[in-house]
Amino acid sequence: MLYAIAVNYGTADVIHDWATSILQEHPDSCLYLVDNFKSDADRQAARVACEAAHIRMIESENVGYGRGLDVGLAMLLSEHEIASDDLIVFGNIDLSLSNVTVPASEAAMAYMPIVLQDGAPRNPFLTHMQRRFVRLYDIAAVLRSPKILRLASGVIKLIGKLPSRAYATHGSLFVLNGAGLQAIPKPVFNEETFLYCEEMEFAEAVRAGKIGLIHCDIEVKHIGKVSTGAVTQTNKAFFDLWYPSWRNWRKRW
């Protein structure tokens, strides 16, 4: 059984495409949409789209991305008995998915899909080698400097060219089997964080749950910044959202 969860914030116009990309391969899928409230008009449009596609809609205040996914995961677990070989995909709404299948396993597993954004591959998001250098971000946090953050990100990006095992998967889509969902600590994401650092939150939760991480053939086409672009149009706006999220990740892990 395939379960899919997405978070909506002002993007009701892409709900149909997201659902269609899943249902055309898996017509018996169970779909959930967490609607982070943006406006009355968008909520009503989301209701209409969800009713048309038989999506279970969860109406929420705007709790952010990771917390929104946790709301959906909690609802899923409260309404269904998840088998170890079920597949759970959860992430952004501005996606189209194909080849949504993974090797069957009774072991707790997380999967790294093929993510394409602007035609470029985005996985792995971070490697274990890069993980060793993420404290460079602390310099940007201490100095409260968007410029230093960009510099640190550039250095870590260069380190990503070195051979190393995958550590974190791109935050547009997270994938677990049923055994992995049962094993992963809950809440998966930081309840104090509104936006950003979800990739590293998920990576550490996977490690804490002793869950395997392997590549899979799921292909994700991600539009990117459909929801976040309106609030992160400048480096400072991005930094102001990233800074508390980074501090929360450092505190938790």
pLDDT tens per residue across span 86-95: 999 999 999 9
Average pLDDT, the chain: 95
What are all long-range contacts of 37-43, with beta carbons under 8 Å and residues at least 24 apart?
A: 37/61, 37/62, 38/9, 38/10, 38/62, 39/10, 42/8, 42/10, 42/11, 42/12, 43/12
Residue 146 lies in a domain: no
Residue 122 lies in a domain: no
207: amino acid identity, one letter = R
Q: How far apart are CA 188 and CA 168, in angstroms?
A: 14
- The burial class, CB within 10 Å (0-12 / 13-18 / 19+), for 220 is buried
Q: Could you tell me what percent of the chain has a pLDDT over 90?
A: 92
Residue 211 lies in a domain: yes
pLDDT truncated to tens, each residue of the chain (253 aa)? 999 999 999 999 999 999 999 999 999 999 999 999 999 999 999 999 999 999 999 999 999 999 999 999 999 999 999 999 999 999 999 999 999 999 989 999 999 999 999 889 999 999 999 999 999 999 999 999 999 999 999 999 999 999 999 999 999 999 999 999 999 999 999 999 999 999 999 999 999 999 999 999 999 999 865 655 555 678 899 999 999 999 999 999 9
Domain of residue 210: give its range: 2-114+170-224
Residue 29 lies in a domain: yes
Residue 200 lies in a domain: yes
How many domains are there within the chain? Answer: 1
CATH number of the domain that residue 93 is part of: 3.90.550.10
Residue 141 lies in a domain: no
Indicate if the alpha-carbon torsion angle 155, 160, 166, 172 is positive or negative: positive
Residue 133 lies in a domain: no
CB atoms closer than 10 angstroms to residue 213: 20
Residue 149 lies in a domain: no
